[in-house]
Structure 1
């Protein structure tokens, strides 16, 4: 029975992942800004789930958040936000919000939780980051792309720093069938689909299944790796 922390575990990919861990009998702590949109999962009444309302862009209060976590075996840095804003009209406050949520917060959480992850006794502790193809292609939302590229780099940097004592990996999904898809203009959606093998977007479940594998059963030699989930749209 693992103790899991999932940021943004209340919807989309995070929700699908939370459900997988719960079905596996794991304890899950969900960090989200609010829980007004609970979709199909009854968080509040589930004995294996703990919900903490916290805005992850409030980086100065992250130490207080970490103080509420007593035990952790797996950290899933999943929370993120794509803003349909191009570089020439990007307000400073939206830039700061994007950077704080998409890169500063996961790096800080990993740093602040290192000691508690190392204290895991029953499992090899793991960190899994939900990055994005945006960090690999030169994304129109320039600060989102920069943040996700940074998260991929942070994955590799932490894996080296932890020297195999904590396994750190990431995934880089292309657009996924979640509410974030609505942030992508229709023209860009259709252009992307033409480059995929299957002619469709990824499902939240497909990304969650990959995150779950990296968090649980993937070989320890898979460390410092970013797994592309893009259906051939960015072959490398």
Structure 2
């Protein structure tokens, strides 16, 4: 399959590192004109440099309606939007206060919703568009150690499904992509206390999967590139019959057959 996104503008939120940066790189490799986003200008500029200066970027804090408005004004009509921005914070349910729930909701759900509300009608006018939400296997496999995160990711999957139905017949598709444990900077920070002398991040990541996600079929975290590959497919012209789908890149963690 030769995926060619030449002539398409692709916006990736939360794309200064990790999965978002890998998605930006993969979309650029496929020929798209890529726009990245982060909270600060310094992080955006650093990411642009890491990508060889062949993308452009905007600093905007998408945790607020005002920040979303800044980005929408700067990039009014992308053809492809990847709502990748997200946070996670392991914390017991009974220690998770309203502020933490609200922060996860605003960043993980409302940011993508606001962009979808602004961009999907413009895509429909052009009779073509791709909107991809980054969900998580935690949407189906709610982690007891961060229920608040799992709930927000379930909402992302539901939002994508509902929007796919709303955009029926327009030429616009909406999907969610669900990574499992992945080798990212965020995972490294979460596992830093387990990284001991003589054990690499990769080895600790594999131990984490085998212990805490034992249903994983690949028995390791995914790479950011493996997740990005699925997003590029969902963003492609070839994916015209793929909409309303929850596309899993979880290594088989979620233990059912659909």
TM more than 0.5:
yes
What is the distance in 1 between the residues matched to 2:163 and 2:147? Answer: 24
Indicate whether 1:162 and 2:162 are aligned. no
The structure-2 alpha-carbon separation of the partners of 1:101 and 1:200, relative to structure 1 and needing over 3 Å to count, comes to same
DSSP-derived class of the 2:106 partner:
helix
Counting only pairs closer than 5 Å after superposition, residues 47-66 of structure 1 correspond to structure 2 as 48-66=54-72
TM-score normalised according to structure 1 size? 0.89
1:203 aligns with 2:257: no
Tell me by how many angstroms 1:30 deviates: 1.1
Mapped to 2, the partners of 1:63 and 1:40 lie a distance apart of: 22
Offset of residue 84 of structure 1? 1.5
Structure 1 residue aligned with 2:235: 215
Off by >6 Å, runs of 4+ in structure 1:
none
The count of aligned residue pairs is: 233
Q: CA deviation at 1:62?
A: 2.1
1:107-122 counterparts in 2 under 5 A?
107-120=113-126
| Structure 2 gaps, min length 5 | 1-6, 195-206
Greater helix share, structure number: 2
Given that 2:16 and 2:47 are in contact with CA atoms closer than 8 Å, whether structure 1 keeps it comes out as no
Gaps of 5+ in 1: none
Asked if the contact 1:156/1:169 (under 8 Å) is kept, the reply is yes
The alignment partner of 1:194 has SS state of coil
**Which residue in the other structure is 1:138 paired with?**
142
1:180 aligns with 2:189: no
Per-residue deviation at 1:199?
A: 1.8
Q: Report if the CA contact (8 A) 2:132-2:174 is conserved.
A: yes
Q: 1:112, CA displacement in angstroms?
A: 1.4
Choose from 6, 21, 25 the match for 1:19: 25
Separation of aligned partners in 1, 2:76 and 2:150: 33
Aligned residue in 1 for 2:87: 81
2:200 alignment counterpart: none
Output the aligned Cα RMSD. Answer: 2.3
Q: Distance in 1 between matches of 2:245 and 2:28?
A: 26
Distance 1:189 1:39, change over 3 A: farther
Q: Any residues of structure 2 matched to 1:88-99 within 5 Å, and which? A: 88-99=94-105
Partner Cα distance (1:151, 1:235) in 2: 20
Alpha-carbon distance, 1:206 to partner:
0.2
Deviation, structure 1 residue 207: 0.2
